[in-house]
Amino acid sequence: MSQVTYFILGTGSMLVMVVLIIWFVYSYQRKLSLRNAEYRMVEALMQRNELKSAYAVIEGQEAERKRIAAELHDNIGGIMSTLKIFSDLVTLETDTSEVRRLNKKVNELSIQLTAEIRKLSHELDLRTLSGFGLRVALKQLCESIQATGKLQVVSVIELQRSPDDVLSMNLYRIIQELFTNTLKHADASRVRIELSAIDDELTMIYEDNGKGFDAELQGGGMGLDNIRKRTQSMEGQLTIDSNSFGTTVIIEIKL
Amino acid sequence: MVSFKDISFAVSNISDISEIFPALVWIKWGNRNKPFAMMGLFFLVSGIIRLIALGTAIKGIHNMPLYHLLALLEAAAVYIFFTQAKGTKPKTAVLVILLLVYSGNILFQNMYLDFNSNTWTLTVLIIIFLGMRFFHRIYQTEESKALQRMPEFVITCGWLIYSSGSLFTYLMGTDILSGKPEGFFNNAWLIQCVSNIIKNGIICYGFILSSTECPR
């Protein structure tokens, strides 16, 4: 091999390698930028889809409101009108036996009205839960409690997917019961509720800043008893910690 | 006046001494995890061998057996580095084959005291092959890490520049080193030395990068 050939090949191969590396860097960076552009496109698409599902939820809620209005007007409104007629008749009637009969009717109607309202309320819970999932149902519950002005509610709900219907219903009822207890007995001003599902474990933490209670003494109370039974039915673990600064209830469930 | 031979000798000495710098950088800042640990240890051994080779050369003692050993160590270390960078275990069989091929070549060709072009050429061909394969793997991977944040990529670049710059020097190594170091051809070791210095510089940077970009 001549000296010139050697020199050309020796330095040439090094230069070729440098060019090859530069070309590789260029191709790789180009690939990265293309991939980033694709990611951005997918993100935009997902955002649009999220908006669409948000619109769907809003539309669903609107339809639900209309259905409730119709239910109130047609069913409960009808009973209320009848109730008013009977109560008007009571005020006008002088005959004692007739007054007694009318009062009986008013009593029956008020029982029917209570049952209808309970049925509607129960149906609404179920519809929200099955239609929109536990997250939306809990958000609504927290909003409605907050709207009463009696409690400041902070909710942190991190659920990657909604738990099954039975579990959702049990959790929802437990949280409802806890809210009822706080409102009735705790004299609290703040409630914090945290619900998270990480891997296969669901954790619910409910805290209020009320005056607390003695969990041992009130162990047999109806509300707490129901919470215990529901937790047991879900094969979960219930921890209650209560003192004069507030109450913390933790429920852990294996999914 | 400084002759071409003087320049060639100076660059060759710098090249030998520069081999210890990646080891020093690795000891000071480098990542101790795979695959950098193997590379760091290799440079430590290689740096010491080259310093010994430099000392023996100055004293006029034959040092070619050291270079035979170095060729084998270089091929083995680069193989282990790229295998570990890929996330797999190096195969003992491959290392045994390398040992057999390298020692067999020296034994059967009776090249104890000569520069063994064959094994050195094989070493740089192995480096080029493994380096290219690693580039291909980086390109195919789904990970979107920037190249400037990949110390493995930087180290591979160093090895590729070195191997491409050394290829023809090693091919012609026996001829270049035979006879007196006079004229262009017999001083053409220069190209290899320059590529070696560039490699060591780049690998130093790769080791520094490994301290910040890879988990320790």
Q: For residue B206, what are the CA distances in angstroms to A20, B159, B209?
A: 19, 11, 5
Structure tokens at B105: 């070549």
Averaged pLDDT for residues B160-179: 77
Residue A190: pLDDT band with limits 50, 70, 90: very high
d(CA A100, CA A84): 16
Domains of chain A: 133-254 (3.30.565.10)
Averaged pLDDT for residues B18-38: 89
Q: Which residues of A touch B147 (CB under 8 A)?
A: 25, 28-29
* Residue among B25, B119, B12 at smallest CA distance from B73: B119
The DSSP H or E segment spanning A54 is helix A3-71
d(CA B65, CA B111): 9
The mean pLDDT of chain A is 83
Residue A217: pLDDT band with limits 50, 70, 90: low
Nearest residue of chain B to residue A24 (CA atoms) = B135
Token match 């809210």: residue? Answer: A179
Each residue of B54-73: pLDDT tens digit? 888 888 888 788 888 888 99
Q: CB-based burial of residue B54 (10 Å sphere; 0-12 exposed, 13-18 middle, 19+ buried)?
A: middle
> Smallest Cβ distance to B160: which of A7, A17, A27?
A17
Look at phi and psi of residue A251 and say left if phi exceeds 0, alpha if psi is from -120 to 50, else beta. Answer: beta
What is the pLDDT at residue B172? 73
What is the SS3 assignment for A98? helix
d(CA A203, CA B209): 42
> Smallest Cβ distance to B147: which of A9, A25, A35?
A25
What is the pLDDT at residue B23? 92
Q: Which of residues 4-43 of A touch B (CB under 8 A)?
A: 6-7, 9-11, 13-14, 16-18, 20-21, 24-25, 27-29, 31-32, 35-36
What is the pLDDT at residue A222? 61
Q: Is the pLDDT of residue A49 over 70?
A: yes
> Smallest Cβ distance to B138: which of A7, A20, A28?
A28
The more confident residue out of A6 and B39 is B39
Give ipTM to 2 decimals: 0.77
What is the pLDDT at residue A120? 80
Each residue of A110-131: pLDDT tens digit? 888 888 887 787 777 666 677 7
Q: What is the pTM of this model?
A: 0.56
